[in-house]
Amino acid sequence: MFFEYTPTAEKIVDEVFASRGLKRLDSWHLLMIAIDPEYEGKGYSTLLMRDGFNRAGGGPVYLEATTPRSRDIYAHLGFELNKVHRFGVESVDEMGIVTKGEAAVGVPIFVMTKWETP
């Protein structure tokens, strides 16, 4: 799954940008943001994201959310869901734990883009 992630995610982002006549390299990629659980729900993610948007200078920002909860947070901040992809289908569950059968649904990623930043 690890070796599949980066090339697949980049291909999806390239396709999304190409569909708008844009190049991914003319954008910003949010690699990771994390908030200590003790401070969740207090607006720190929004504060960090808005600072990042200011630094992006109005250009597109894209990311891969890895949970439905993070997907919803990013949607609240204006990110658009471009595509959902599942890695490890038929070999891991939603948490990436090796399994078989009906539970082997794979780990989802939610490719998202904020096309214009304030």
> Does residue 2 register a pLDDT over 80?
no
Per residue in 40-95, pLDDT (tens digit) is 889 998 899 889 888 888 889 999 998 898 999 999 999 999 999 998 899 999 88
| Residue range 13-22, pLDDT digits in tens | 999 999 999 9
Q: How many domains does the chain have?
A: 1
| CATH code where residue 76 lies | 3.40.630.30
Residue span of the structural domain in which 76 resides:
2-114
Considering the entire predicted model, what is its pTM?
Answer: 0.84
**Stated length of the chain:** 118
- Is 3 a residue whose pLDDT tops 70? yes
Report residue 98 as tokens: 């090796």
